[in-house]
Structure 1
């Protein structure tokens, strides 16, 4: 969800949400969202869903954009993560 849509849903400005995220979460709203996306992706990866579908469900423009965020947060690619969970 884009920050503008989230702000509208919360009936607050993007600036207010950004300020509250820093105060309450200790990180930017975009960093929090990326972490939440990666956490949401883990069960999908473990269940065998394709990275392309996961990135689409989470709203990323491309699978590589999602994979870059995943790699930055987890330290490896989504495919490597899935393989480590289900060595075969």
Structure 2
């Protein structure tokens, strides 16, 4: 374990975003999203990273690629800026 505080926080977040009997996130902040919600996926990823996984090693099978919101530019990442 490389970061026990991150792992514990992510564990608590994941616990708060468990699916209900109908397969939807029961957390009020998610508004009944289909499980696993994005917050749950991020919590699981944080738990893996806290155990020492590199970001390239971890990709949750339920992760969905999402396009940028309409009318908003795509996020400008450091890697994209350095490549230009």
Q: TM-score range by the shorter chain?
A: 0.3 to 0.5
Which structure is higher in RCO with an 8 Å CA cutoff and minimum separation 6? 2
TM-score scaled by length of structure 2: 0.33
Larger Rg: 2
The structure whose residues are more often helix, as a share, is: 1
